[in-house]
Homo-oligomer: A and B are copies of this chain.
Amino acid sequence: MGTAERKAREKEELKKLILESAKKLFVEKGIEQTTIRSIADAIQYSVGTVYVYFRDKNAILHALHAQGFTALGSQFKVLFNVADPMERLRAMGRVYIRFALENPDMYDLMFTVKAPMEFLNDTNEEEWTEGKTTFDVLKTTVKECLEAGHFAGHHLEPLSFMIWSLVHGMCSLYIGQRTKGVNLENPATIVDQAFDEFLLLIDKP
């Protein structure tokens, strides 16, 4: 019987369709406008059908947030063509910042919105795989830096977390409109300027 197989495929495709539609709405109109009804409207199915394929809205937002990590991760992968770990680390920072500022809503979903994490809690998942994987990429590079003699006296995990926190903090404050109090000549580049300060700090010795 190829029927069961076909049905499974159709199910999978409808799930994909829901997700595509959700993503389109999310990117175009933001998280607020991405309602279950608007998704259902867009794919021309009823509200109830959406709930057949996703247990709740958190599940949809978690799936979207995972897509964000895939996108960011594939950008990071490219950077492993850079042999020098310090140079790669700098490039990762730039890429991260660019990604955040070009996709603010997606960035919010990945790193600040509660929904994706609530989904993990609700499904009793211990680990935040998406974040862990991406963080491991950073750690790998930091580790190579340490092995190359940089960051003498530092420790891998907390140092990596510190670096991540730094770039995240800048992006988070900027996207969250918390940079109004920081008066610069060119406020639009505050994040890049601050990152330069960090590079200056770690390049010193």
Contacts and interface: CB of A to CB of B under 8 A. Distances in A.
Interface in A112-160: 112, 114, 117, 120, 126-128, 131-136, 153-155, 157-160
Contacts of A126: 180
A173 B181 contact: no
Given A169-B168, A196-B158, A181 B132 contact: yes
- How big is chain A's contact interface, by range? 35 or more
Interface in A68-111: 111
A177 interface: yes
A29 interface: no
A17 interface: no
Nearest to A198: B162
Contact of A169 (B128, B170, B177): B170
Given A111-B176, A204-B204, A161 B182 contact: yes
